[in-house]
Structure 1
Amino acid sequence: FQVDRTKKTLMVAILGSSDIKTYPLKYMSKLIDFIVEYADVNVLFNYIPSQSKEAQQVYAGCKASTQKVIFFDLIGKSLREYIALMNECDIIMGNDGGAINMAKALNKPSFIIFSPWIRQEMWSTFEDGDFHKSVHLTQFKPELFESKSEKELKKNSLELYRYFKPEFIYSELRSFLDFNLNNEKVLHLKSLIKPLAIPDIKRVSAIIITKNEATNLASLIRNLQFANEIIIVDSYSQDDTKNIIKKYPEVTLVEQEFSNYSDQRNFAIDQAQNNWILFIDADERIPKSLQFEIRKALSSKGEIVAYEMYRQFYFQDTPLKYGGFQTDKVVRLFDKRKARYDSSKLVHETLTVDGRIGGLKSKLLHFSFNDEQSYKQKLISYAKLRAKELQAKNSRATAYHLYIKPWYRFIYHYLVRRGFLDGRPGLTMAKLNAFGVKQRFIELKKLKLNQR
């Protein structure tokens, strides 16, 4: 194979692991045409012999001028051959999957096109927007995803792919090529652009407090790779939490017995090397848009010492828009020199901020509800801590608290805050909110009885 060694070489992951994870073949041909017209590169296809028919379709869909630089038959027929071949390439572009992940392991720049039903924020590992970059249909057609569960998106993936036109991707792909290729054509384009001053970005420590969060940790750690430091304060978990953390040498593990949420968070803050703190729960994720806003906030030089953000609550895979969740807002990014958690609050902790608080527009994703039983257990643990707060205030559990107040809470969330518009999930959450209120006073009553 007469590959021109003076040019950079692009590997294209033209096929995903299934139809619903494969960018439409005719669209892929257009993207390859765009790359070859924009940058002077060799092109290799990643596929296995049994996929040659689909690979031929992509090749046939390319322009004749593009076909001249595609080395169609130069493929890795085994894992060993693929790794050797990928190691000779300079960049990779295409569908998410094993080929991309192995290329990342070889420290190759990657550009991923995610399937519409895949959560980009959970799988865009090590993404920084330059060396590793990805695109998702939600960036261009967010309205197609409103009120859709993961199950619905998966079922309709092929139809959604139809809307994911190559024209949407060209701009993102161009910036990726500009950053990662050093051929003369791209260098010339760069020379026409006046260099921008790089802002002084404050370093940030991402902090998580955990107890038996093994199912959440790996994807969360991948989600936080943009942070300068990741600290996990664990309350002696009995599941696989500790072993998972050990797989990530960039993560600092500190073990501390849990007493209450405020004390645990304040302890965690004291472990951080950086002044700016980003607190996140194990069942939360930071989408790309919010990561971008966080970076922008950290590069600003104003008087703001903390930032609040809205949270999007998910009932399993369904986002809830009513029932009070639409106004759920938390302060999670702050300068530790100007903020501390109120130690009198044992649960639903409050951050006391000495200074101006700003706001971020993108929402923090909160995947708190997986099933009713585990959510109830969470509410019971919260109720026990809240009962201790009420006991410290010498409060009593009356018939009003045990029977009327839970009903009021149900009516407030289901009718006043229009939880009924979320359908059955809205009804379930309104009932669980009422359960949480009643449980709080049941626990208070137990504490009072134990005092006698």
Structure 2
Amino acid sequence: MMPIGMSVVIITRNAASTLVSTLDALSEFGEVVIYDNGSIDETPSIAARYPNVSLHQGEFFGFGLTKRHAVSLAKNDWILSLDADEVPSKRLTTELRQWIASARSCDIGNVLRENSMLGRPVRHSGWGNDWLVRLFNRRDYNFNDAMVHESVEIDHKANIIQLPGCIEHAAVTDLSQFLEKINRYSTLRSNSGKLKKYSPGVIFLKSIFAFIRTYFFQLGVLDGWRGLVIAVANANGVFWKYIKFYNVK
């Protein structure tokens, strides 16, 4: 059992296809906080099966603010933030035991996330070498308020430590997830009030550049058809987040 003092925090929405694997891997943690925002599948009932899971349900405020709220529901100050399609490796879990025994509140855990699509790792396309701050003490740090692509805000006092092990991320288990994410994320970004309005021609050029950047500059071509799918999805995401400014009722 993981020493007392660390909580895993996860926000969920229709995560039934991956949540079992995630929660099975977290059996050693004393508290797993799940904040569900509107699931209509079996996500809540799956969470309720695990004795170490504390299930909460409520509104979605954007990814950053929703994760901040979920962090506030934890009993412990040390937070390991995961998504419902992520699993910590055994080595990472072992390292966390040592971490909690001597960590200071200014220490920040940087963790490598290994992203996979349909069961195969993606090494390029902007998905490789994906280091993320996922372990922090909420007394000193927390998520920012970004609607999409949220991150933990850190300052010059933070002592960033790269932890051995990794987070295994089943990023895509069905290609239709790309379409769902493009629609949801582009709406959130468009409604955030933080994007500049561009002409349709400029939007088209930005979309083309997003494809070129992913497929060529970020070596998506080396990921085979998966790299092509990611490049096209990125181009579509750029196109729709800007063109939705024109969605005037």
Aligned to 1:443: 244
Decide which of 125, 140, 161 is 1:338's aligned counterpart. Answer: 140
Which residue in 1 is equivalent to 2:177?
374
Q: Judging changes above 3 Å, is the alpha-carbon distance between structure 1 residues 394 and 247 closer, same or farther for their aligned structure 2 residues?
A: closer
Higher strand residue share? 2
Please state whether the residue corresponding to 2:33 is helix, strand or coil: strand
Q: Does 1:398 align with 2:199?
A: yes
- The separation in 1 between residues aligned to 2:9 and 2:195, in whole angstroms, is 34
- The alpha carbon displacement at 1:346 in A equals 0.7
Q: Which residue of 2 aligns with 1:291?
A: 93
The aligned counterpart of 1:386 is 189
- For 1:215, give the aligned amino acid: S
Q: In structure 1, which of residues 428, 438, 441 is the aligned counterpart of residue 229 of structure 2?
A: 428
Aligned to 1:91: none
> C-alpha displacement at 1:366, in angstroms?
1.1
- CA–CA separation in structure 2 for the residues paired with 1:413 and 1:435: 12
- CA, structure 1 residues 401+256, in 2 after alignment: closer, same or farther (shift >3 Å)? farther
Residue 408 of structure 1 deviates from its aligned partner by 0.7
In structure 2, how many angstroms separate the alpha carbons of the residues matched to 1:316 and 1:366? 11
Q: Residue 9 of structure 2: which of 207, 215, 219 is its match?
A: 207
Q: Distance in 1 between matches of 2:134 and 2:245?
A: 30
Change (3 A) 1:247 1:302: closer
Matched residues in 1 for 2:232 and 2:95: separation? Answer: 35
Structure with the larger helix share = 1
Structure 1: how far apart are the matches of 2:188 and 2:240?
11
Offset of residue 439 of structure 1: 1.4
The CA RMSD over aligned residues, in Å, is 1.9
Q: Distance in 1 between matches of 2:215 and 2:195?
A: 31
Give the conservation status (yes or no) of the 8 Å contact 2:4–2:30. Answer: no
Q: Where in structure 2 are the equivalents of 1:135-214 lying within 5 Å? A: 203-214=5-16
SS of the residue aligned with 2:61?
A: coil
Report if the CA contact (8 A) 2:6-2:77 is conserved. yes
Structure 1: gaps spanning 5 or more residues: 1-127, 130-200
Give the aligned residue type for 1:402: I
TM-score by length of 1: 0.52
Flag the 1:299–1:202 CA change in 2: closer, same or farther, 3 A: farther
Q: How does 1:25-40 map to 2 (within 5 A)?
A: none
Q: What one-letter code is carried by the residue in structure 2 that aligns with 1:423? A: G
Q: Aligned partners of 1:224 and 1:296: how far apart in 2? A: 16
Greater RCO, CA 8 A, separation 6+? 2
Distance 1:261 1:380 in 2: 15
1:349 corresponds to 2:150: yes
Match of 2:50 among 228, 248, 251: 248
Q: Which aligned pairs between 1:397-416 and structure 2 lie closer than 5 A?
A: 397-416=198-217
1:384-422 CA-partner distances (Å, limit 9, x unpaired):
111122xx2462132344211111111111111111111
> Quick one: which of 255, 258, 261 aligns to 2:60?
258
Residues paired across the two proteins, number: 247
- Cα distance in 2 for partners of 1:254, 1:324 equals 33
- Give the letter aligned to residue 385 of structure 1: L
User: 1:254, 1:226 → 2: CA distance?
Assistant: 20
CA distance in 2, matches of 1:399, 1:226: 52
User: Identity of aligned pairs, percent?
Assistant: 30
- In the alignment, is the contact (CA less than 8 A) between 1:401 and 1:441 conserved in 2? no
Question: Which digits, 9 at most, give the CA deviation of each residue in 1:275-319, with x for residues without a partner?
Answer: 100111011111111212222222234574211112111011110
Query: Are the counterparts in 2 of residues 397 and 445 from structure 1 also a CA contact under 8 Å?
Result: no
> One-letter code of the match for 1:214?
A
Q: What's the CA shift for 1:363?
A: 2.2
1:359 to 162, 185, 210: 162
By how many angstroms is 1:202 displaced? Answer: 6.0
| 1:439 to 1:394, Cα distance in 2 relative to 1, 3 A | closer
- Secondary structure of the 2:136 match is strand
| 1:223 correspondence with 2:20 | no
Kept after mapping to 2: 8 A contact 1:202/1:276: no
Paired residue type of 2:176: Q
Alpha-carbon distance between aligned partners in 1 of 2:49 and 2:187, rounded to the nearest angstrom:
34
SS in 2 for 1:325: coil
Contact 1:396 1:445 in 2 (8 A): no
Q: Secondary structure at the match of 2:98?
A: helix
**Partner amino acid for 1:312?**
E
Of 371-380 and 204-213, more deviation after overlay is shown by 371-380
Tell me the SS of whatever aligns to 2:238.
helix
Which has the greater radius of gyration? 1
